[in-house]
Amino acid sequence: MLTDVKIDGQRVRAARERAFLSKRELADRAGLDRSTVGRIEEGVTEVYPRTIRRIAEALSVDPTSLTPQE
């Protein structure tokens, strides 16, 4: 069973902005709803590991770059 994991919304937003993508464009590329991307960037939601992978692929970054650094 997949468990929710932490994703760093600020890192997602920074990567999205570096890629010159809107929330809608990122959502479309990752197969997500725009509101989901917004909630992730605001830190309101936790996500499944597969969602982190989908966002990372859409942004062409390593998935670990989107998780909190400890």
For residue 37, the domain's CATH number is 1.10.260.40
Number of domains into which the chain is organized: 1
Query: Residue 16's domain spans which residues?
Result: 9-66
Q: Does 4 fall in a domain?
A: no
pLDDT in tens, 33-54: 999 999 999 988 888 999 999 9
For the CA atoms of 33, 39, 43, 44, the dihedral, rounded to the nearest 10 degrees, stands at: -120
Report the mean per-residue pLDDT for the chain.
Answer: 91
Q: Does 1 fall in a domain?
A: no
Dihedral sign from CA coordinates of 49, 54, 56, 60: positive
Q: Does 59 fall in a domain?
A: yes
